[in-house]
Homo-oligomer: A and B are copies of this chain.
Amino acid sequence: MRPMLILPLLALTAAAQPATKPKTPADVIAAAPASAWKTIPAEDLLVMDLANGSRVVIQLAPAFAPVHVANIRAFARSGWWNGGKAAIYRVQDNYVVQWGRNETKDPMPAGVVELPPAEYHRQLQGLAVRPLGYSDQYAPGAGHALGWPVAYNPTEGSANLTHCYGYVGVARDLSPDTGNGSELYAIIGHAPRALDRVIAVVGRVVSGMEKMSAFPRGTEALGIYKDRAQDIKIASVQMASEMPAAGRPSFQYLDIQSAAFGEYLQLRANRKDDFFIRPAGGIDLCSASVPIRATPAR
């Protein structure tokens, strides 16, 4: 028999095609001009180094959860998660990986607000939203703003970040607790959008997600590791802005107001390249991910 090719399913990473072939989303991203990319400020990049050598970089979203983000920056600057005091201790399949310092009596670092406001959504007014153009099961509207996916409710005048794959939220106890940011989680499965207006979403993993999602699942309730020896130790968490400029990581996202982003979305909702027998004709918000790349060397 002919050998089975292993390439197919979905050639997201395909190289540019000859002109006669339908464009792919990857083609559009590759061809986007430098002006369509926005560099993430170093003040918004949280750099987590695990004891095993893996690095995970998280983009924070101060426009959506300013007090929680300020807390996270204060924790990082104080070395709160450094030196083996913090770990990944929960990995629940198709749900979350969670880390931090979960049983400490240490006093909070200076500048940390112990009980932040419930930053589960923000004002819609003043937010330039690019509507997705397709419905959403969890909100009257869905689209993108400031480089982020947002669900919104014009009647209430509110907008919120969404629990998509790789998005980072603040673990909390029952209300009135809102989580102070000492413990965070990232989504490692199908988007649990029911959490959207229930927890503060503070960012997204922009690098290293493939490490976060591949840890062994915890066997205790909620995916907690049974023994503390299973915990994955965190070596340090620091703000990129506190690192020497020469060595700090840098990432860019595709401007959601750019023509390239519009074309990318249109193609993701209507793929016509070789493998796709019929285009979907639609897309859900968490599949319409904002392209991210390492900032190219000048």
Q: Identify the A interface with B (CB < 8 A).
A: 1, 3-13, 89-91, 93-96, 98, 100-108, 114, 118, 120, 134-135, 137-138, 164-166, 171-175, 182-183, 185, 188-199, 209-210, 213-217, 221-222, 224, 268-269, 271, 274-284, 286-287
Chain B nearest CB, measured from A114 CB (Å): 7
**A214–B219 CA distance with the chains assembled, in angstroms:** 13
Question: CB-nearest residue of chain B relative to A287?
Answer: B190
Nearest neighbor of A92 in chain B, beta-carbon distance: B9
Q: Which residues of B contact A185 (CB under 8 A)?
A: 9
**Known A209-B94, A216-B214, A277-B175: A194·B268 in contact at CB below 8 Å:** yes
Contact A194 B287 (CB under 8 A): yes
Kindly list the 7 A-B residue pairs having the minimum CB-CB distance in the complex, ordered from nearest: A93-B210, A137-B282, A210-B217, A194-B280, A165-B190, A137-B284, A6-B102
- Beyond A166-B94, A189-B189, whether A197 also contacts B277 by CB under 8 A is yes
Q: Which of A101, A118, A190, A196 gathers most chain B CB within 10 Å?
A: A190
Closest B residue, CB atoms, query A108: B1
Interface of A is mostly: loop
A224 close to B6 (CB less than 8 A): yes
Minimum C-beta distance from A169 to chain B (A): 8
Residues of B within 8 A of A286 (CB): 190
A189, A216, A275, A287 interface centre (most CB from chain B within 10 Å) = A189
What is the CA–CA distance of A101 and B98 in the complex, to the nearest angstrom?
36
Is the pair A137, B138 in contact by a Cβ cutoff of 8 Å? Answer: no
**Which of B13, B95, B171, B283 is close to A221, meaning CB atoms less than 8 Å apart?**
B13
Q: Which of B105, B134, B196 contacts A137 (CB 8 A)?
A: B134
* B221/A98 in contact, CB under 8 A: no
Across the two chains, which residue of chain B brings its CB closest to A89?
B6
- The distance from the CB of A195 to the nearest CB of chain B, in whole angstroms, is 7
Complex partner residue of A174 from B164, B190, B274, CB under 8 angstroms: B274
B residues in contact with A216, CB < 8 Å = 214
A138, B280: Cβ atoms closer than 8 Å: yes
Report how far A199 CA is from B280 CA in the complex, Å: 12
Nearest chain B residue, comparing its CB with the CB of A190: B165
Nearest neighbor of A4 in chain B, beta-carbon distance = B102
The CA-CA distance from A61 to B175 in the complex, in Å, is 43
Contact B171 A8 (CB under 8 A): yes
**Are B189 and A5 in contact, CB atoms less than 8 angstroms apart?**
no
Inter-chain contacts of A171 with B (CB < 8 A): 4, 6, 8-9
Looking at the assembled complex, report how far the CB atom of A175 sits from the nearest CB atom of chain B, in whole angstroms: 6
Which residues from B are CB-within-8-Å of A271? 194
